[in-house]
Structure 1
Amino acid sequence: MATFAKSTFSHASYAAFRPSYPPSLYNTVLQYHRGPKNLCVDLGCGHGVVARALAPEFSSVLGTDPSKGMIEQAQSSTPKAQHPNVAFRSASAEYMPFLKDESVDLVVAGQAAHWFDYAALFPEMRRIMRKGGTLAFWGYKDHIFVDYPRATQILNHYAYSPGKDLLGEYWSQPGRSIVQNKLRAIQPPSTNWEDIRRIEYEPDSNSPASGEGTMFLTKKLKLGECKEYIRTWSAYHGWQEAHPGMKRRSAGGNGDVIDDMFDDIANVVKDFKDEEKEVQIEWGSGLLMARRK
């Protein structure tokens, strides 16, 4: 997760502009889960949104993340008075010697599973999780602008077309491809895992909630907020390192790649000229659940 250690990365912006997860997603995981609810571990916990959401359901919740900046953000966003059973510590998902064998009931990862080293992760998951325990990983791909298919096309061009001045060359691979393909590349070994289920959603930019599958992630954002959300992408921070002299207009510069993207959209979609305008966006997503044999 080298992105989160870069000097260009803002942990506060990540916490402010990344989407949260709806009750329907958590309920899907909890309905799948069987047995005790003593300990839940949130891998790649980021700013702690998942740990806080699951805290009422478990005796203890532990969030881990290799980024010390993320752990600091999670701790500052999770007051002990409100969440006395939640703790955070810096650690990789693949190595958690502080957890006892078969001591964990549920392991989750929200928008983090594409970073893991699965050759090392699955043996560690088998070690720490009790028999019958639940694994639940989910992730979301790029958003679409509902009712604005042309805007979505331009977004995708900037996000994935080749060229040093665009974002496509700055994604970390294979992680980004794993997310774009809704975590299908993550295959729990059948020797240790059973009842494997996948729930996916692929949006349709022509009308809201009309995509294929089960939608979990949708939100209204002002266009200015949408710019800041895209600036939390890992590819953007790679682009920043390659273009240190190009600053966003909102910070007094002449514009960055995100300003250029929205300028191009506004040239063909007049509604996008006003940064205060709210637009509905949806994310394609994948949820993977499995049970420890």
Structure 2
Amino acid sequence: MATFAKATFSAASYATFRPTYPLSLYSAVLSYHQGARNLCIDLGCGHGIIARELAKHFTHVIGTDPSPGMIAQARSSTATPANVEFHQASAEDLSWCTDEEKGRVEDGSVDMVVAGQAAHWFDYPLLFKELSRVMRRGGTMAFWGYKDHVFVNFPRATQILGEYTYGTDRDLLGNYWSQPGRSIVQNKLRDIVPPVEEWEDVQRVEYEPGTEGARSGEGTMFLTKRMKVGECKEYIRTWSAYHGWKETYPDRKKRSAGGQGDVVDQMFDEIAKEDKEFGDEEKEVEVEWGSGLVMARKR
């Protein structure tokens, strides 16, 4: 998760332009969960939207993230309930405090552990060892993530987006994704396999968008949004791949900041040649994300 921990990464932009999670996703996770709702841990909590939502359902919620910028963003929200706390820490080590009064995560104390758009960054041999320590018997693991977004009414725009996203030319974005993390997301988290000796009742919920209109994809859709074209561009600029591209081309400034244009401007210029709607940054388009949710229960 080194990209998001860098001082040059904008946690505020991430909080503004990334998609939020619908109540249907939380309902699916909470319906799966059995037993106590005392302590929930949100790993890779980012700006804290999951922790704040689950605070309605658990006595105590702890959000952890290795990025100081993300933790600062999470703590800055005036909407944070009193039963939520945020700590800078890795997912693989929840013994970040030895003083119980300061909130050390004790053995067998966690009822649910979640991760939204963070699970592809984890070191799983270390993570499952730590979860073996902290999870109670019957506790729930629920990890979810989203892959590329799709312009569901614009097949050609979606195709061009894919070409720029994964094209391997140096001036495109494909070479700047961190691996194997991006591949894990692309594969809808199927690479995350809870050890059978410690986890049971594994369930997966997936969605792959289509380009024949809204809800034309396959599976259970969780993430959809009407976005202005300008918002779509800023969303892409929150990608870790864009951050890597920007480090390679620091002088290529986006037009909205007075520059000659960056790779995102270039991409949407090409899209607008095919679909003129994308030439208007105030134009709203329907977007859906491919997604994967994996849930398991601690034996």
Which band: TM-score by shorter chain? over 0.9
User: Deviation at 1:6?
Assistant: 2.8
Matching residue's letter, 2:44: G
CA contact (8 A) 1:17 1:225 kept: yes
Listed as ranges, the gaps of 5+ residues in structure 2 are 96-103
- Partners of 1:189 and 1:79 lie apart in 2 by 37
1:210 aligns with 2:208: no
1:221 aligns with 2:234: no
Partner-residue secondary structure (3-state), 1:9: coil
1:92 to 68, 78, 90: 90
User: Deviation at 1:27?
Assistant: 0.2
Partner-residue secondary structure (3-state), 2:55: helix
- Partners of 1:172 and 1:226 lie apart in 2 by 21
Q: Which residue of structure 2 lines up, in the alignment, with residue 73 of structure 1?
A: 73
1:107 aligns with 2:113: yes
1:123 aligns with 2:129: yes
Q: TM-score with structure 1 length normalisation? A: 0.98
1:133 aligns with 2:139: yes
| Change in 2 beyond 3 A, CA 1:206/1:79 | closer
Partner-residue secondary structure (3-state), 1:272: helix
Listed as ranges, the gaps of 5+ residues in structure 1 are none
RMSD: 0.8
1:51 aligns with 2:47: no
1:273 to 269, 276, 279: 279
CA contact (8 A) 2:5 2:66 kept: no
User: Deviation at 1:78?
Assistant: 4.5
Matching residue's letter, 2:27: N
Partner-residue secondary structure (3-state), 1:57: coil
Q: Which residue of structure 2 lines up, in the alignment, with residue 39 of structure 1?
A: 39
Matching residue's letter, 2:146: Y
User: Deviation at 1:207?
Assistant: 1.3
Q: Which residue of structure 1 lines up, in the alignment, with residue 100 of structure 2?
A: none
1:236 to 242, 255, 260: 242
User: Deviation at 1:5?
Assistant: 2.5
Matching residue's letter, 1:94: E
Matching residue's letter, 2:113: V
CA contact (8 A) 2:107 2:134 kept: yes
Q: TM-score with structure 2 length normalisation? A: 0.96
Aligned residues: 291
Q: Percent identity?
A: 68
Partner-residue secondary structure (3-state), 2:192: coil
- Partners of 1:95 and 1:284 lie apart in 2 by 30
- Partners of 1:46 and 1:119 lie apart in 2 by 22
CA contact (8 A) 1:114 1:175 kept: yes
CA contact (8 A) 1:52 1:78 kept: no
| Change in 2 beyond 3 A, CA 1:147/1:79 | closer
